Structure 1
Amino acid sequence: MYELAILARGGVLLTVWAVAAGWSRGRLAGCLRRDGWQGICRGAWAAPGKDVDWRVRATALQFLRPELVCSHGTAARLHRIELLGGAVDEGFLDFTAPATSRSTHDALIRIRSTSSLTDGDRSVRRGLRVTTPARTVGDLIRSCGSREEAVVAADSALARRAVGGVRREALVRYEELAAELAAPRPGAPRARAWLPLTEAASGSPAESVARLRMRDAGLFPESQPPLRTAEGRTLRPDFLFREAGLAVEVEGYAFHGTRRAHERDVTRFNALQSCPEVRRVLRFTARDVFARPDHVIATIRAALALQVRARAG
């Protein structure tokens, strides 16, 4: 009989592997408990001391059921696609599987059945079978409950940005999303109507929502336009009302995580005001955008009106 640690893959052991190697089920259970192996789910164990996080659980489930493909929120985490409201619940896993696949009674696992998941819709990311970025965003937009959720997910995938401290390139092109949403699937018509609202230049979920709020109010600034400071440095304000010379910045929750980050922000704020196109800078927090959108819009309108009066005078 093989040692259990040798049979494990990435610190995950299936009962069927041990039985196939000669272990009896009765002896196996006692040995696993005695040596500190951790139950992941029925039929799967994690090596002693291994952190049983969402990725380990997903790995074990894919070992047990090869037809399962990580999708929706779980795929978003693997691709580092940001969703509205922050991180996906680590305890919950999303999968897509063929329509003939059996269901599950685990409340922390959601399996969506489909007959339209092709080889071109699947890839491997961080060791797990996962829907491609285009299919992931398409699934998310088609199933989103709101326009904001849909646009935040699409903007994140379209943009080159840092997510979770990791800088990544854009995951998908607009044309790829358009092709993905052309398929006649539930939720597709609404998703196609939302797609033109996306903006690849968006830098964060808060910026995406702020842009939508301004659009609803009839305000259409440029997003992340490149400007040149007096010293020749290129800066990109979140939004610019060029005619009024008004720049608008939206700061994320963790923007001032360190003293150095705060100092960089002060330097950026001063440099931005040296750009010839900028006469005034407004700054809002993500909380302002999400919880006080009327205040944000009113403040922007007042600043724009002031610039109009200044030009008239």
Structure 2
Amino acid sequence: MRLLAEQWAAPHLVVSHSAAAWLWDVELPHASAEFTALRRNLSRKRSGVRCLPLAETDVTVRRGLRCTKVDRTLGDLLRSAGQDEAVIGVESALTWRRIRTYRRAPLTTLDRVAAEAAQPRIHGRHQALQRLSLIDPHAASPAETLARLRMREAGLRPTSQAELTTPEGRRVRPDFLFTREGVVVEIEGYAYHGSREAHRRDLARFNDLQLCPQVRLVLRFTAGEVMHSPAQMITRIRHALARTPPTP
């Protein structure tokens, strides 16, 4: 309602950045009412309004609001949002995600986002390209993204979504695998494990991981631990890696 009211009062304002991402069902840690002005000669400053180069071809209509298209929205996040927010948003848009009551298909491709990030006409291009190098198109949730970023900052480089096979031939993809040590790191979100059937699938997946010959230890962390206690998560991973020396 706030976005509608602002746009009715000032039709030259286009919903952008985190607000546009929210309209597109892109997962973000938080969203606020943000707009980009189609014209630069604003008579007065408005809270949440940015004056950036914006063409009509960058604009579409979604849920009755004029907003930036998906690729422009993601480019804006890469250029100006915090690193965690930008990477979470892009990875969410690139993959299938469970959003409220439906499963949302990928909204764009990495090539299209990269082309938008490389646009020279908007300030922040260098930062956008740097952040683009952090993107993992296989990430499955915001908590997974945050866990990978925290591990990267700590100098840990596991493989994401490595394909493993149980002795019975079932395939399983752990969130992260330290291949040499055989340590798996799984990030568990309540939204994906909040029913009896989901709990059954979760247990079956855990057992399958334990049976894979490449796996020596499985660590599991909740989304809350990733977001609120990342240092503790990193410490536990380091201890696990130290206990499981690399296989020859």
Q: TM-score, normalised by structure 1?
A: 0.70
Q: Which of 204, 210, 220 is equivalent to 1:267?
A: 204
Q: Which of 124, 130, 139 is equivalent to 1:187?
A: 124
Aligned residues: 246
For residues 250-297 of structure 1, give each alpha carbon's deviation from its aligned partner in whole angstroms, at most 9, with x where no partner exists: 112434322332222122211222223222211011222222222212
Q: In structure 2, give the amino acid aligned to 1:77.
A: W
Paired residues of 1:67 and 1:101 also in contact (CA < 8 A): no
Q: Which of 105, 110, 117 is equivalent to 2:54?
A: 117
CA shift, 1:63, in A, is: 4.5
Q: In structure 2, give the amino acid aligned to 1:113.
A: C
Q: Helix, strand or coil for the counterpart of 2:245? A: helix
Paired residues of 1:248 and 1:283 also in contact (CA < 8 A): yes
Looking at structure 2, the residues matched to 182 and 257 of structure 1 have their Cα atoms a distance apart, in angstroms, of 40
Q: Helix, strand or coil for the counterpart of 1:213? A: helix
Q: Helix, strand or coil for the counterpart of 2:27? A: coil
Q: In structure 1, give the amino acid aligned to 2:79.
A: R
Q: Tell me which residue corresponds to 1:209.
A: 146
Q: Tell me which residue corresponds to 1:200.
A: 137
CA shift, 1:120, in A, is: 2.6
Q: In structure 2, give the amino acid aligned to 1:161.
A: R
Q: Helix, strand or coil for the counterpart of 1:82? A: coil
Paired residues of 1:103 and 1:111 also in contact (CA < 8 A): no
For residues 232-260 of structure 1, give each alpha carbon's deviation from its aligned partner in whole angstroms, at most 9, with x where no partner exists: 33322111112222211011243432233
Q: Which of 107, 129, 135 is equivalent to 1:171?
A: 107
Looking at structure 2, the residues matched to 281 and 224 of structure 1 have their Cα atoms a distance apart, in angstroms, of 14
Percent of pairs with identical residues: 47
Aligned: 1:158 with 2:94: yes
Q: Which of 7, 26, 35 is equivalent to 1:81?
A: 26
Higher alpha-carbon Rg? 1
CA shift, 1:154, in A, is: 1.9
Which structure is higher in RCO with an 8 Å CA cutoff and minimum separation 6? Answer: 2
Q: Helix, strand or coil for the counterpart of 1:197? A: coil
CA shift, 1:150, in A, is: 2.1
Q: Which of 52, 70, 75 is equivalent to 1:138?
A: 75
Q: Which of 54, 60, 64 is equivalent to 1:127?
A: 64
Aligned: 1:72 with 2:10: no
Looking at structure 2, the residues matched to 123 and 147 of structure 1 have their Cα atoms a distance apart, in angstroms, of 26
Q: TM-score, normalised by structure 2?
A: 0.87
Q: Which of 214, 227, 232 is equivalent to 2:164?
A: 227
Q: Tell me which residue corresponds to 2:242.
A: 305
Q: Which runs of 5+ in 2 are unaligned?
A: none
Paired residues of 1:69 and 1:129 also in contact (CA < 8 A): yes
CA shift, 1:136, in A, is: 0.6
Q: Helix, strand or coil for the counterpart of 2:48? A: strand
Structure 2 counterparts to residues 233-252 of structure 1, below 5 A: 233-252=170-189
CA shift, 1:304, in A, is: 1.8
CA shift, 1:224, in A, is: 1.3
**What CA RMSD, in Å, does the superposition of the two structures yield over aligned residues?**
2.4
Q: Tell me which residue corresponds to 1:296.
A: 233
Q: Helix, strand or coil for the counterpart of 1:254? A: helix
Looking at structure 2, the residues matched to 271 and 165 of structure 1 have their Cα atoms a distance apart, in angstroms, of 28
Task: Report the CA distance shift for 1:80/1:209 in structure 2 as closer, same or farther (over 3 A).
Answer: same
Between stretches 228-237 and 126-135, larger displacement belongs to 228-237
Looking at structure 2, the residues matched to 64 and 148 of structure 1 have their Cα atoms a distance apart, in angstroms, of 33
Q: In structure 2, give the amino acid aligned to 1:275.
A: C
CA shift, 1:216, in A, is: 1.8
Q: Tell me which residue corresponds to 1:97.
A: 37
